[in-house]
Structure 1
Amino acid sequence: MRLIVTEKNNSAKKIATILSGGSAKEDKSYKVPYYTWSGPDGDQRTVGLKGHVVGPAFPEGYSNWQETDLHELIDAELTTEPTDKNVVKAVRKLAKEADSIVIATDFDREGELIGLEALAEAFAANPAIVGELAVATSEGDKERAPAATLTRERPNILRARYSALTKEEIERAFGDLDELSYDLANAGAARQDIDLIWGATLTRWVSLATKRYGSAFLSVGRVQSPTLVLIAERERERRAFTPEPYWEIEAALQNGEAITARHDTARFWEEEPARAAYENLTETARVTEVKEKSATRPAPIPFNTTGFLTAAANIGISPS
């Protein structure tokens, strides 16, 4: 049986519908939906995760803010914790019956890492399916096995890369399965570890230095804090801004079709020149030149999450 692992349930359902021609049946394992069908490639299942399978965490003994040396916090050997125990159980149960796995998580660094996390859980349940992996499982042991080179020499571990959940794109991706990038996944894991160490250490340091304890602590983060600085600077600029009056000259013209003509000087910063220009406009408007040109604009690249939310906000659609 081939197990296809996606990042979210809606992706698992859509892929199952496309690859099965609509014949996939839904079932659940530990309350996690999965989809089963049979086809030319044999029995297949898709299961959707809920983002990261595991996340980095500090080992026991570092929870007391006052008694923990922050230098030790920086050098602590991180462990991992499951983000959703039911997802971990479901992946392990389905992996026991699988003889190959296709990672079909999102086409980015985090997707690569999430796929590798799922493989680690599959390894814990069915070692024969993936061989040895130097990846932390939900049990938290990062020293469980030497690093593996995930290449086409491991035909039972493949990667589907797609940028849209369309029939054409999914069929193309599964017709040209690739290898999983272990290096890219490790880059994602390093980012996670840095975020935790940076955030936890500086949050504790700032909170202790300002005597902000309990729910009143001051949060610091690798992305959060620089973003907050940008917001604060922009707010200072907004508050310090003094509006300046300006004048614009526009003419509403019509000869079969209404158009708006604007003065060469887009904005007059003083009233006297603006009125002088306006008073000179006494004659009937006359078209002196017409220029036409053709232009080709390339199709825009697909949205990422940030770009999509920005574009949506520009037309009045909130993130919620």
Structure 2
Amino acid sequence: MKLIIAEKNDAARQIAERLSTGKPKKDKVYNTAIYRFEWKGEECVTIGLAGHILAPDFCDSVLFDKKLGWYSVTEDGEMLPADIPDGLARPPYDTKRKPFLADGISIKGWKLESLPYLTWAPVIKLPAEKELIRSLKNLAKKSDSVIIATDFDREGELIGSDALNKVREVAPDLPVARAQYSSFTKAEITQAFDNLVSLDQNLADAGESRQHIDLIWGAVLTRYLTLAKFGGFGNVRSAGRVQTPTLALVVERERERMAFVPEDYWQIRGMAAAQAAAEDDRFKIAHKTARFTDKDAAETAYGHVDGAKTATVAAVTKRSRKQQPPTPFATTSLQAAAAAEGISPARTMRIAESLYMAGLISYPRVDNTVYPATLDLGAVVSDLAKINPALAPVCKKVLAGPMKPTRGKVETTDHPPIYPTGEGDPSTLDGGQRKLYDLIARRFLATLMGPATIENTKLELDVNGEPFVASGDVLVTPGFREAYPYGLKRDEQMPPLEQG
């Protein structure tokens, strides 16, 4: 039997459905859902984890022995060396109060004296999902080989490596392979399992290093802030590798806001229209001095134009500019674009994850902004037209024209940028899901289209000797804007006026 380990239950089900020659059979090992099926004539079973099944932690103490040096002891009795600097005091100590022990330092309790030792204490891994580990080991005993099919990124590699370590405890000699994929389409899952690779232990180690840094930073600084600044354990002040610098940015911005001293200013604005123009054809004009900081100067200028009925066109300037199509979506740019449409970053990622698990979009946690040469962009556009009638006319134009995808500044080799797979049924999506899916689909098409041309008309007017200006943009050549209207201002058509 081939054991396939996925990161989540939904992923395990999706993989079984994509690979199975028939309909997978849902089953249970203890209380864990699994999916049995046949693939290439071999019995297979997929099991979904719940993310990380092991959690980093510390032992209860660091101990010192003249021969062995500093070390910690796990619950299983394993001795782990501790790289404690020579400058830290060694036992025996002059006091018996906590955290001092006869042979070392207790790092379990929250004591300021233990923090220098906690910084250098060895990190251990403890079971975070005991039932899943039990089920995983049960299946491993009955299996002939293992395929790690967790997400293809640093965290996914670590989750797969941790799962493999638990498998090795009961089946040390099982052959192991790795399936790498970026979407749950049948074609990509099949391709991934037809071209298995090895688990990247270096990538897993990078993920584990990040875990260790988060634990050490968080544990030491949280305890220090709480004990030294906020009165003890009952008034915890959390610190973290990401949250603390982020909080600093927020505080810095808030201080800037609080230090801002508002200044009064005055503006002079009005409405104008060409002679004999309809009421709806009026346009906004503003004094060339956008903001008067001198009230007397503003009142003088206003006195010159108050009640004016006519204006003379001093100049008409037309300029065209090209607006380049956007680059492919990475995680941060997707969150920014979605926020502009009223979807918070956290909700964006929840929805994107659900779209990914449903096979409608590619993996949503990426930095890459360059489509790989292996991605058949034309095929994706063709498939998108079939499942999304509203986009079919734009898809047709994309396929008919030269397809030159834009490129962002970041290119990686793990996952492609976020794009719609062209599979699934978007019509079944709810409001938030449909809104985000449309944003992703339209952004994808926009990256394959040409620039838009926008013409700006600027009118300079003389109103009783006071200079006024009016300006408006008109979309002349839609280009990528036919697919991606987000952020596009409404046309501001200026009347056909001439100088004088």
Same fold (TM over 0.5): yes
TM-aligned CA deviation for residue 237 of structure 1? 2.3
Question: C-alpha displacement at 1:243, in angstroms?
Answer: 5.1
Instruction: Deviation per CA, 1:156-210: give whole Å up to 9, x if none.
Output: 3222222222223322322322221111111111111111112111222222212
Q: Residue in 2 aligned with 1:89?
A: 134
Structure 2 CA distance for aligned equivalents of residues 224 and 72 of structure 1: 24
Secondary structure at the aligned position of 1:98 is classed as: coil
- Give the 5 Å matches for 1:1-320: 1-20=1-20, 23-61=23-61, 62-66=107-111, 69-129=114-174, 156-210=175-229, 212-242=231-261, 245=265, 247=267, 268-270=290-292, 272=298, 282=311, 289=318, 291=320, 297=325, 300-301=328-329, 303-304=330-331, 307-318=333-344, 319=346
Aligned-residue CA RMSD (Å): 3.6
2-side partners of 1:179 and 1:265: how far apart? 68
The whole-number CA distance in structure 1 between the counterparts of 2:236 and 2:32 is 36
Which stretch shifts more, 18-27 or 258-267? 258-267
Structure 1 9/310 Cα, relative in aligned 2: closer, same or farther at 3 Å? farther
Please tell me the residue identity of whatever aligns with 1:17: E
1:285 and 1:178 map into 2 onto residues whose CA distance is 71
Q: Secondary structure at the match of 1:237?
A: helix
Cα distance in 1 between the residues matched to 2:339 and 2:111: 43
Q: For 1:81 and 1:280, how far apart are their aligned partners in 2?
A: 81
Distance 1:159 1:259 in 2: 65
Change (3 A) 1:307 1:57: farther
* Structure 2 gaps, min length 5: 62-106, 348-500
* 1:246–1:267 CA contact under 8 A, matched in 2: no
By percentage of residues, which structure has more strand?
Answer: 2
Secondary structure of the residue that 1:127 maps to in structure 2?
Answer: coil
| SS across alignment from 2:203 | helix
Secondary structure at the aligned position of 1:128 is classed as coil
Closer, same or farther: CA 277–187 of 1 in aligned 2, 3 Å: farther
Report the CA distance shift for 1:246/1:179 in structure 2 as closer, same or farther (over 3 A): farther
Structure 2 CA distance for partners of 1:18 and 1:285, relative to 1, 3 Å:
farther
The AA in structure 1 aligned to 2:225 is: V
Deviation sequence 1:230-270 (CA, Å, 0-9, x none): 111122223333456574868798999x8997779998122
Task: Identify the range of structure 1 (182-191 vs 22-31) with the bigger mean alpha-carbon deviation.
Answer: 22-31
For 2:288 and 2:126, locate their aligned partners in 1 and report how far apart those are by CA, in whole Å. Answer: 60
Q: Distance in 2 between matches of 1:159 and 1:266?
A: 65
TM, length-normalised to structure 2: 0.51
**8 A contact 2:272–2:285 mirrored in 1:** no
Identity of aligned residues (%): 40
Task: Report if aligned partners of 2:6, 2:12 keep a CA contact under 8 Å in 1.
Answer: yes
Residue-by-residue CA offset, 1:58-92 (whole Å, 9 max, x unaligned): 11232112275222112212221111111111111
Distance 1:211 1:296, change over 3 A: closer
Which of the pair has more CA radius of gyration?
Answer: 2
Q: Comparing 260-269 with 186-195, which one deviates more in the overlay?
A: 260-269
Aligned to 2:449: none
Residue 144 of structure 1: aligned partner: none
Structure 2 distance, partners of 1:313, 1:16, is: 35
User: When the two structures are aligned, how many residues end up with a matched partner?
Assistant: 290
Unaligned runs of 5+ in 1: 130-155
Whether the 8 Å contact between 2:141 and 2:171 is mirrored in structure 1 is yes
SS at match of 2:173: helix
